[in-house]
Chain A
Amino acid sequence: MNTPFQANPNNRIRVLYGVIFVICIIIGLRLFYIQVIRHSYYEAQARESQLKRYEIPAERGTLFALDGDEKVPLVLNELRYNIVADPQIIIDKEETALRVADILKVSKDDIKKSLQSGSRYEILGKKQTKDVKEKIEKLMADGDIIGVFAERTVQRVYPQGTLAAQVLGFVDDESKGRYGIEESLNQDLSGTAGRVRALTDQNGIPLLANGENVQEDPIDGKDVTLTIDVAMQKQAENILQDGLKNANSNSGSVIIVNPNNGQIKALANYPSYNPAEFQKVEDTAIFTNPAVSSLLEPGSIMKTLTLAAGLDSGSVTKDQTYYDPSFWKIGDATVRNVEEDGGAAVRSMSDILRYSLNTGATWLIMQMGGGELNQKGREAWYDYLTNHYGLGKVTNIEQGYEEPGYIANPVEGYGLNIQYANSSFGQGILTTSLQMAMAVSAVVNGGTYYQPTLVAGKTDSDRIYAENKPKIVYNKTVSTEVSATLVDYMQVALNNNNLLKKFGRPGYIVGGKTGTAEIANPAGGYYEDRFNGTYVGFVGGDRPEYVIMVRVDEPKVSGYAGTTAAGPIFGSVVTMLIDNFSVQARNGQ
Chain B
Amino acid sequence: MTYSSAASVNRQRFSSRGQNAVSFKTSSKRLGPVSNAIALLVMVCLIGLVYLTQVTKTNSFSYEINNLNKQQSQLKEEQKDLELTAARLRAVDSDRVAQAAQGLVSLAPSGTITE
Contact = CB atoms under 8 A, between A and B. Distances in A.
Q: Do A and B bind each other?
A: yes
Interface of A: 72-73, 76-79, 157, 159-161, 163, 201, 205-209, 230-231, 234
A159 B59 contact: no
Interface string B83-115: 110011011110000000000000000000000
B62 A207 contact: yes
Chain A at the B interface: SS class? mixed
Interface in B48-78: 54-55, 58-59, 61-63, 65-66, 77
Contact of A208 (B58, B90, B91, B92): B58
Given A207-B59, A208-B62, A77 B92 contact: no
Contact of A161 (B62, B80, B83, B91): B91
Interface residues of B, number: 20
Given A159-B91, A161-B93, A208 B59 contact: yes
A472 B27 CA distance: 96
Contacts of A206: 62, 66
A159 B87 contact: yes
B84 A76 contact: yes
Given A76-B87, A78-B84, A159-B91, 16 more contacts: A73-B83, A76-B80, A76-B84, A79-B77, A79-B80, A157-B84, A159-B84, A160-B91, A160-B93, A205-B66, A206-B62, A208-B58, A208-B61, A208-B65, A209-B54, A230-B92
A442 B93 CA distance: 34
Interface of B: 54-55, 58-59, 61-63, 65-66, 77, 80-81, 83-84, 87-88, 90-93
Contacts of B80: 76-79
Nearest to A159: B87
A209 B62 CA distance: 9
A78 B87 CA distance: 12
Contacts of B84: 76, 78, 157, 159
Contact of B58 (A79, A209, A230): A209
A72 B87 contact: yes
A205 B63 contact: yes
Contact of B88 (A159, A201, A205, A207): A159
Contacts of A72: 87, 90
Which of A159, A163, A207 is packed against the most chain B CB atoms within 10 Å? A159
15 contacts: A76-B80, A76-B84, A78-B84, A79-B77, A157-B84, A161-B93, A163-B92, A201-B62, A205-B62, A208-B61, A208-B62, A209-B54, A209-B58, A209-B59, A230-B92
Nearest to A79: B77
A73 B85 CA distance: 11
A77 B84 CA distance: 8
B83 A234 contact: no
A230 B91 CA distance: 9
A205 B55 CA distance: 15
B77 to A, nearest CB: 6
Contacts of B55: 209
B108 to A, nearest CB: 14
Given A76-B80, A76-B83, A159-B87, A234 B92 contact: yes
A221 B88 CA distance: 22
Nearest to B56: A209
A205 B58 CA distance: 13
Contacts of A163: 92-93
Nearest to B63: A205
Contacts of B66: 205-206
A89 B90 CA distance: 47
Nearest to B93: A161
Contacts of B87: 72-73, 76, 159-160
A549 B46 CA distance: 83
Contacts of A77: 80
A157 B83 CA distance: 12
B92 A231 contact: yes
A156 B66 CA distance: 27
Contacts of B91: 159-161
Nearest to A233: B92
A326 B80 CA distance: 66
Contacts of B93: 160-161, 163, 234
A201 B55 CA distance: 13
A79 B55 CA distance: 36
Nearest to B57: A209
Contacts of A234: 92-93
Contacts of A78: 80-81, 84
B44 to A, nearest CB: 19
Nearest to B54: A209
A220 to B, nearest CB: 11
A175 B62 CA distance: 31
B62 A160 contact: no
Contacts of A201: 59, 62
Nearest to A234: B92
A208 B63 CA distance: 9
List the 6 closest pairs (A to B, CB-CB), nearest first: A159-B87, A209-B58, A73-B87, A209-B55, A159-B88, A234-B92
A205 to B, nearest CB: 5
Contacts of B65: 208
A208 B58 CA distance: 6
B69 to A, nearest CB: 10
Contacts of A159: 84, 87-88, 90-91
Nearest to B51: A209
Which of B54, B87, B90 is packed against the most chain A CB atoms within 10 Å? B87
A127 to B, nearest CB: 14
B74 to A, nearest CB: 10
A73 B61 CA distance: 38
Contacts of A209: 54-55, 58-59
A206 B65 CA distance: 10
B46 to A, nearest CB: 19
A207 B62 CA distance: 5
